[in-house]
């Protein structure tokens, strides 16, 4: 009881932002002592400018669903933190899962003001190069990912030197599913061990190839 009263007394003397920082530091200390060392045991409220969207999200949400998400957050608040990986080079938290929850706060002043310009995040201890695989795992676990996005990401991973077996292992994907995604891209480079046929190239595949090339040129 004395500890609670001491903390309350210290908080009463602080500004709103100082209170947030004080509580975050306290939560961080408590987490280091917790026997449960899981990301969800340490939810942090960080400035939204410290959070950065990724450029490979395979999940797509319709306009009506985005409105529903806004309504949900407006009435119920944030019930799920954004999953991130900390990028030391950027000094930012790069989103693994939760882009649309991030975007809702970023694009709606009433939500941002209520959160004092902050977002609830958790940090998973992964190398920043593993963030793409982590994003896919989160989306696949919910069954919410687009084929186009997945195909583009698989191509990018292969371009980075990932082996088929590693992709399947990290994404929880069967070899047959990986092969189908390779077919969708229509890139002959992906078929080093598979016979490539021109009839696999469809209008959708051409659009995906065009999109990928444009993304590479913009980087």
**pLDDT tens per residue, range 113-154:** 999 999 999 998 876 556 666 666 656 545 445 556 667 677
Q: Average model confidence (pLDDT) for the chain?
A: 77
- Average pLDDT for residues 155-173, to the nearest whole number? 76
Q: How confident is the model at residue 201 (pLDDT cuts 50, 70, 90)?
A: very low
Kind and range of the H or E run holding 142: helix 131-142
Kind and range of the H or E run holding 170: helix 164-171
Tell me if 158 sits within 8 A of 212, measured CB to CB: no
pLDDT digits (tens, 9 = 90+) for 167-181: 777 776 777 777 777
Q: Is the pLDDT of residue 192 over 60?
A: no
Please state the domain extents for the chain: 1-33, 41-129+138-144, 146-218
Neighbours of 86 (CB within 10 A): 16
Q: Which of the four CATH numbers 3.30.2010.10, 1.10.3720.10, 3.90.1530.10, 3.20.20.60 does domain 41-129+138-144 have?
A: 3.90.1530.10
């Amino acid at each position: 009881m004395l500890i609670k009263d001491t903390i309350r007394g210290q908080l009463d003397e602080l500004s709103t932002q100082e209170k947030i920082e004080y509580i975050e530091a306290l939560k961080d200390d408590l987490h280091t002592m917790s026997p449960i060392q899981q990301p969800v045991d340490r939810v942090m409220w960080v400035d939204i400018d410290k959070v950065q969207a990724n450029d490979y999200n395979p999940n797509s949400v319709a306009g009506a669903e985005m409105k529903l998400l806004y309504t949900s957050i407006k009435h119920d608040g944030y019930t799920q933190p954004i999953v991130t990986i900390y990028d030391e080079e950027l000094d930012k938290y790069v989103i693994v899962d939760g882009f649309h929850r991030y975007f809702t706060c970023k694009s709606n002043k009433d939500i941002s003001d209520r959160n004092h310009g902050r977002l609830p995040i958790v940090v998973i201890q992964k190398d920043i190069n593993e963030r793409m695989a982590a994003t896919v795992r989160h989306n696949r676990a919910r069954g919410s990912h687009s084929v186009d996005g997945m195909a583009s990401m698989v191509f990018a991973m292969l371009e980075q030197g990932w082996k088929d077996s590693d992709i399947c292992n990290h994404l929880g994907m069967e070899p047959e599913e990986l092969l189908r995604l390779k077919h969708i891209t229509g890139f002959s480079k992906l078929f080093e061990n598979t016979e490539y046929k021109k009839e696999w190239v469809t209008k959708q595949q051409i659009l995906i190839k065009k999109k990928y090339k444009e993304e590479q040129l913009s980087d």
